[in-house]
Structure 1
Amino acid sequence: MCDDERLASMGNARRLRDQKRWYDANFDEELLRERAQAERICHQFNAFDPGDEEGRRTLLAHMFSELGEGATVLPPLYVDYGYNCRVGEGTFINRGAYLMDGAPITIGDHVFIGPGCGMYTAEHPLTVEERNQGLERALPITIEDDVWIGGNVVILPGVTIGRGSVIGAHSTVTRDVPAGVVAVGSPCRVVRAITPDDAPSDKEAEDEA
């Protein structure tokens, strides 16, 4: 991309991004301002007094497009924009999450997310010349209701994880995961379905007591 083309594209990058097309992520002034603002809000959130839950929630509600009732997000948290993040009711996001929300990241209700989770919507060209120009595109990530994601899981662009599924710790999720399964590994693969037999039994509860 020459200088004239880059100048012509300034201000159009957000439109191209939202259309899931290749765009200039590194030189567009509007996107740079938005990322800087999100970084400032994350810094504020991460520095809040641990006892000020109301203040932290107010800040998140201002930054996210949706923050459901009873949702909990523990610091530190990192985002690119924030306004592309939707978090449902009763969801819990443990420490160290990075929500790279160039495209929408939609997290449903009652989702459990372990520490160190990375959700990355951005992808770059495989070809060196275009990659070095700063081109990227962003594809949405969707986590449906009642999903449990273990610690240090990476979720790549365009992935949907189906309702009620469980993702094992340290997995790298490169493709969609259907509902109601256990999936683990790098790349993440379905191991088996979740069945009623997986519910804790009364005997197990008595033994633990």
Structure 2
Amino acid sequence: MSGTSKLFQDIDSQYGDKISTMSEESKMLVGLPYLANTEHLIRARVKARRLQNEYNKTQPTSVLDDTTSGAALAEGQNLMSEDRKRLLSQLLELPPSQVAKVEIEPPLYVDYGTNIKPEGAFYANYNTTILDCSEVRLGDGVLFGPNVSIYCGTHSVSVKERKQGLERSLPVSIGRDTWVGGGTIIMAGVSIGKGCTIGAGSVVTKNIPDWSVAAGTPCKVMRTLTEQERA
């Protein structure tokens, strides 16, 4: 039995006879089998699609013109225009103050948006995909290269379960000051520690401890940062 299958089995056992009283969204957020095509979840995804489509059409800050001084250019490097900040606040359902240090280059793709939890400064380059059927926690100072994908959503290996239309999901967390290289895929249930570097093109299927330099498919720890390299 794989680690994920064992985790799902443990979750099923933990909730037992409570499952029948839970909403599909509640099941989704704790890793139980759930039906994604209920009215509430469909409406939530449609709302997210509309907001992300608006976000992806926005223009960057308007400071970049031929007459702008060097100092103003340096100050305006943050490409989050007021439209982008407003739409991101709505998409993540977070107050503007909580997304003030978040920079995400369009295009951005999400399932719900509301389960993405930045804990401070966060930068993501082009074409970020976050399937946030579960909580995605992003520590202060996390950086994404282009084409990074986080897949919280998954399916059971049981064909019977899939034919019933059931899906599964597990949370993902990334610790502070971690850099995720371009083209990396982070799978459901993964926790990446603080101060890590994940090499471009990696597929992260298991937890990565603090201060690790890791890469590969599947992603493996190559070395641990020395005390002098940590902050």
User: What's the TM-score once normalised by structure 1's chain length?
Assistant: 0.85
Work out whether residues 71 and 88 of structure 1, in 8 Å CA contact, stay in contact via their aligned partners in 2.
no
Matched with 1:18 is 29
Matched with 1:176 is 207
Tell me, yes or no, if structure 1 residue 147 matches structure 2 residue 147.
no
Work out whether residues 69 and 88 of structure 1, in 8 Å CA contact, stay in contact via their aligned partners in 2.
no
Report the 3-state secondary structure (helix = DSSP H, G, I; strand = E; otherwise coil) of the residue aligned with 1:92: strand
Tell me, yes or no, if structure 1 residue 158 matches structure 2 residue 189.
yes
For residues 199 and 215 of structure 2, the distance between their equivalents in structure 1, rounded to whole angstroms, comes to 5
- Report the AA paired with residue 77 of structure 1: L
- Report the AA paired with residue 33 of structure 1: R
Work out whether residues 30 and 134 of structure 2, in 8 Å CA contact, stay in contact via their aligned partners in 1.
no
Tell me, yes or no, if structure 1 residue 41 matches structure 2 residue 69.
no
How big is the shift at 1:51?
Answer: 2.9
Matched with 1:94 is 125
For residues 227 and 158 of structure 2, the distance between their equivalents in structure 1, rounded to whole angstroms, comes to 48
Matched with 1:103 is 134
Work out whether residues 98 and 116 of structure 1, in 8 Å CA contact, stay in contact via their aligned partners in 2.
yes
Work out whether residues 30 and 170 of structure 2, in 8 Å CA contact, stay in contact via their aligned partners in 1.
no
For residues 30 and 200 of structure 2, the distance between their equivalents in structure 1, rounded to whole angstroms, comes to 32
Matched with 2:150 is 119
Work out whether residues 115 and 151 of structure 1, in 8 Å CA contact, stay in contact via their aligned partners in 2.
yes
- RMSD value, Cα: 1.8
How big is the shift at 1:196?
Answer: 5.1
Number of residue pairs matched by the alignment: 189
Matched with 2:91 is 63
For residues 178 and 136 of structure 2, the distance between their equivalents in structure 1, rounded to whole angstroms, comes to 14
Provide structure 2 residue ranges, at least 5 long, that are not aligned to the other structure.
1-19, 63-80
Task: Provide the identity percentage.
Answer: 37
Per mean C-alpha deviation after superposition, the further-off stretch among 43-52 and 180-189 is 43-52
Provide structure 1 residue ranges, at least 5 long, that are not aligned to the other structure.
1-8, 200-209
Work out whether residues 70 and 90 of structure 1, in 8 Å CA contact, stay in contact via their aligned partners in 2.
yes
User: What's the TM-score once normalised by structure 2's chain length?
Assistant: 0.77
